[in-house]
């Protein structure tokens, strides 16, 4: 919050970061257990200027209280819900329960626990750790205005063909050869904003955003890879990124914008040679994987009315 103090502009916020909480739901009828593990971070914008300038802490919501609130609210959730819904629940609590709080920002990173399958059958209470992470961030104002974003961190994808890079600018510093045959690998970070602007407009299904996350992840991967048999050619990481972003906006009308970061993680063809001759020349079959340095490509795509 911005205030004028002693002739200066003063802004402050405070919160609690990296609150780790796990919640288990046990269905008594079919004995199936469900669980999530969340890392929760909370930021409050509140009227507590006196704590900075007058040794007066009477308007501060203690960060330890924020931590305890996460566990209490998790306990109160008798039914399984998405990270987005839990973030909204927390943010609405802070803005409605404390008169000093004008805005709450809650970010959640969900650890990718996945149900184990044994001999093709889902295990009732067994889970294994996956790879990419589901993220959610909500900003809720005391007026009820809401901003909701979701995302993916660490979606690693690779294809061994159907990728090239040609026609780029060449000058005295260019050593990279043009090619229509290379490996393409990246670690996708995606962030998308929903069009919902109030808690009352959020879908009632408590797992709606979990399902939407899985659908977006599937859309991104399918666009990257193409059909199972023939795949799809990538003329550049830039072209593939745009196709992936466009596929998401075309399929999901309640997503107003999406941002993608896709570093080009290189797999360099290995060729061993001396000054006299080439000792061994590999034919697109042996590579040196390296992510340092790597190309950095990112872009965002939004509908004309989006506020991202």
Residue list for the binding site: 63-64, 165, 182, 237-238, 264
The SS3 assignment for 63 reads: helix
Residue list for the binding site for O2? 63, 264
| Best CA proximity match to 108, nearest among 44, 39, 15, 154 | 39
Query: Cα(229)–Cα(207) distance, rounded to whole angstroms?
Result: 33
| Best CA proximity match to 136, nearest among 234, 237, 66, 36 | 36
Distances (CA, A) of 101 to 5, 13, 43, 47, 138: 20, 10, 10, 7, 15
The SS3 assignment for 262 reads: coil
Residue list for the binding site for 5-hydroxyisourate? 63-64, 165, 182, 237-238, 264
Catalytic residue among 93, 107, 134, 266: 266
Can 16 be counted among the known catalytic residues? yes
Residue list for the binding site for urate? 63-64, 165, 182, 237-238, 264
Q: Tell which phi-psi region holds residue 119, choosing left (phi > 0), alpha (psi between -120 and 50) or beta.
A: left
Query: Cα(53)–Cα(62) distance, rounded to whole angstroms?
Result: 17
Catalytic residue among 33, 63, 67, 217: 63
Provide the annotated active-site residues.
16, 63, 266
């Amino acid at each position: 919050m911005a205030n004028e103090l002693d002739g200066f502009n003063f802004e402050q916020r405070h919160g609690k970061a990296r609150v780790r909480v796990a919640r288990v739901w046990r269905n008594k009828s079919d004995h199936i257990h469900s669980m999530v593990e969340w890392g929760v971070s909370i930021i409050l914008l509140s009227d507590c200027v006196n704590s900075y300038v007058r040794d007066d802490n009477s308007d501060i919501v203690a960060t330890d209280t924020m931590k305890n609130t996460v566990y209490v609210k998790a306990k109160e959730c008798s039914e399984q819900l998405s990270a987005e819904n839990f973030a909204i629940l927390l943010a609405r609590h802070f803005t409605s329960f404390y008169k000093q709080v004008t805005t709450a920002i809650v970010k959640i990173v969900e650890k990718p626990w996945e149900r184990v399958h044994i001999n093709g059958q889902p295990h009732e209470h067994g889970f294994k750790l996956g790879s990419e992470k589901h993220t959610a961030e909500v900003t809720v104002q005391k007026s009820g205005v809401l901003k909701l974003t979701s995302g993916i961190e660490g979606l690693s994808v690779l294809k061994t063909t159907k990728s090239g890079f040609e026609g780029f600018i060449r000058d005295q510093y260019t050593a990279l050869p043009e090619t229509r045959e290379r490996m393409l690998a990246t670690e996708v970070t995606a962030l998308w904003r929903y069009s919902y602007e109030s808690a009352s407009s959020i879908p009632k299904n408590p797992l709606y955003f979990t399902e939407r996350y899985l659908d977006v992840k599937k859309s991104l991967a399918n666009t990257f890879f193409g059909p199972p048999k023939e795949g799809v050619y990538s003329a550049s990481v830039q072209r593939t990124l745009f196709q992936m972003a466009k596929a998401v906006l075309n399929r999901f009308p309640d997503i107003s914008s999406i941002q993608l970061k896709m570093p080009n993680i290189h797999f360099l063809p290995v060729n061993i040679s001396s000054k006299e001759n080439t000792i061994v020349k590999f034919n697109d079959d042996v590579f040196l994987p390296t992510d340092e340095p790597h190309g950095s490509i990112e872009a965002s795509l939004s509908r004309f009315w989006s506020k991202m």
